[in-house]
Amino acid sequence: MNRYHNQKVVVIGMAKSGVAVAKLLHRFGANVVVNDKKPREEAVGCEELEELGMPVICGSHPEDLIHPGISLVVKNPGIPYEAPPVAKAMELGIPVVTEVELAYQIAKAPLIGITGSNGKTTTTTLVGLILQEAGIPAMVGGNIGTVLCGLAEVAKEDEWLVAELSSFQLMGTREFRPRIGVLLNLYPAHLDYHHTMDEYLSAKCKMFANQTDQDAAVLPYDQPEVLEKCGELSARAYYFSKTRAVPRGAYVDQGTIVFVDGDGQREEIVQVKDITVPHLDNALAAVIVTRLAGADKRSIAQVLATFPGVEHRMEFVAVKNGVKYFNDSKATNPEAASRALQACKEKVVWICGGLDRGIDFRELVPVIQGRVKAVVALGQTAPILLERAKEAGINERIHVDTVEKAVLAASRLADSGDVVLLSPACASWDMFPSFEVRGSMFKDGVHRL
């Protein structure tokens, strides 16, 4: 990080990561300017940064913000590369990175990076809990909520830094190299940002770009198209599969999760019937990661059998009149909703709908056919989802305009022994500031029944 001493650095976008990285660069002697397009009253942290001596510019991106004298631009992951100051920096050949890159540059601890279209938070949480159970020092952060560079500064050489990483974060890396890198799955998502699936995959695969044969890459064996697109990796590959044996990694054999190490030694970990993790592929990936990180079999089995789940991700809410209610508000694409629906063994009253991204949802017709007894839809995509429900032969189809009404309608349609599942298959931004707000409103509605 001494490379930034007395260098001019621009941080674009404040939020938690922007404030944290600005303070970090300031501590390392950089001349930092912070910029946020939001008005000053909405940009939290202005006064704190100004008290440290950093200029903070709010309300616009000034034309002279980026110039040839700038050595580095650190952008908030969500800011598109087409944004004028970012595009100008790239045109001038100025490196543009995200906070994750700087976290790697200062980290003494070895990194575990976990990405994928679905299941990142669950797998990251599982890995942290298993390492804790095994007595292995670890810190968990990144896209899961705690800014990674803050953890990287204090993490010691003998502990693991476990990071959930989005494609937005990974796209802004240059030297980033995790000791263990994980790609859980890949489905169409964030194409409004990445534009094409190839660009989306390229961002995800930056997880492995700088790995060597001393590192491990954990990949989904059941998605051969992803393996093919990842190409030949320098790291040693480990695979997970729900359907077949793998040469190295974890798979299911006659109802038992099995781990195969780098020498081909086979070890039975736990029976599938005994685990509480809703999605088996997340459990399999966590087995590989934690076994490679030194966790013992007992600790892995213990956590997989007692995992309480993660809020808004197949989160059990309550039983009301014999009906189980689950909050899966984080299911912001059809693949995530499909996984949630298939995880339910009972008949389902499905609450769905949200932001319209031009998806036709036809892939969900065979999933809901025979499994879903009623559909309650809201948001921009409600009409098309109700049309798909009609195609699947579902007679009970209701269009509502609030989550509260959705919960009430679902409770009237559900019988004892059924499941009411909020798994929207869509982002929340047409009606809510975040999927967390949507999920919390659902839970409140359930508890008021």
Q: Which residue has the tokens 């802004």?
A: 172
**142 annotated ligand binder:** no
Q: How far apart are the first and last CA of the chain?
A: 55
| DSSP codes of every residue in 76-96 | -TTS-TTSHHHHHHHHTT--E
Distances (CA, A) of 325 to 121, 292, 386: 21, 36, 21
Sign of CA dihedral 200, 334, 282, 79: positive
Query: Which residues touch 64 (CB under 8 Å, ≥6 apart)?
Result: none
**122 annotated ligand binder:** yes
Distances (CA, A) of 288 to 245, 267, 294, 324, 371: 14, 11, 10, 32, 32
**117 annotated ligand binder:** yes
Distances (CA, A) of 364 to 25, 334, 370, 386, 395: 47, 7, 12, 12, 16
CA 283 to mean position of chain CA atoms: 15
**16 annotated ligand binder:** no
Amino acid 103 reads: A
How does strand 180-183 pair with strand 216-220? parallel
**119 annotated ligand binder:** yes
Whole-angstrom distance, CA of residue 330 vs CA of residue 337: 9
Q: What is the CB neighbour count within 10 angstroms for residue 429?
A: 15
Structure tokens at 187: 């489905």
Whole-angstrom distance, CA of residue 380 vs CA of residue 365: 19
Whole-angstrom distance, CA of residue 194 vs CA of residue 186: 13
**116 annotated ligand binder:** yes
Q: Which residue has the tokens 């669950």?
A: 122
Whole-angstrom distance, CA of residue 219 vs CA of residue 180: 11
**118 annotated ligand binder:** yes
Annotated binding residues: 116-122
Residue numbering of the annotated binding site for ATP: 116-122
